[in-house]
Amino acid sequence: MARLFADEDFPLGTVEVLRSLGHDAVTTRDAGLANRGTSDPDILRAATADGRAVLTYNRIDFMRLHRQQLGHAGIIVCTADTDFERQAQRIHTAISGLGELTGRLIRVTRPGPAEERT
């Protein structure tokens, strides 16, 4: 399973479900970086140093960091979803078949209204 690092705005509920699915997921609070105004590049560096892919809702900034071709252990950008179970399942599905996440940018989006009905 994947080693993940949830940034400060990522919901703990989703992190907990990912843990129950077998992923080794930590939060900025676990890493001692919460409530410090830690910059996005510093979050990415901390996650990378620990061999963890970043989980974030901050798509614009982390996609920019990825385009700058900084070495990283993976970036998973998500759209917000208040259904933590559903969001965790989408993340799990998106990364399960990939193997190594290093250097990858993975987009996990919330389904549209038509997709939610099926």
For 56, 81, 112, 115, 116, the CA distances from 53, given in Å and listed in that order, are: 10, 19, 26, 27, 27
Return the CATH number of 3-117, one of 3.20.20, 3.90.380, 3.40.50, 2.60.40.
3.40.50
The verdict on pTM exceeding 0.85 is: yes
Task: Give the integer Cα–Cα distance in Å for 36 and 93.
Answer: 32
Contact 27, 10 (CB under 8 A): yes
* 3-state secondary structure (DSSP) of residue 105: strand
Nearest of 23, 24, 63, 13 to residue 40 by alpha carbon: 63
CA-wise closest residue to 101 among 64, 68, 71:
71
Instruction: Give the single-character DSSP code of 37.
Output: T
In 10 A of CB 71, how many CB atoms?
A: 9
pLDDT tens digit sequence for 10-60: 999 999 999 999 999 999 999 988 878 889 999 999 999 999 999 999 999
- State the pLDDT at residue 99: 85
> What tens digit of pLDDT does each residue of 70-106 get?
789 999 999 999 999 999 999 999 999 898 999 999 9
Give the C-alpha separation, 44 to 58, whole Å.
12
How sure is the predictor about 114, in pLDDT bands with cuts at 50, 70 and 90?
A: very low
Domain ranges (residues) in the chain: 3-117
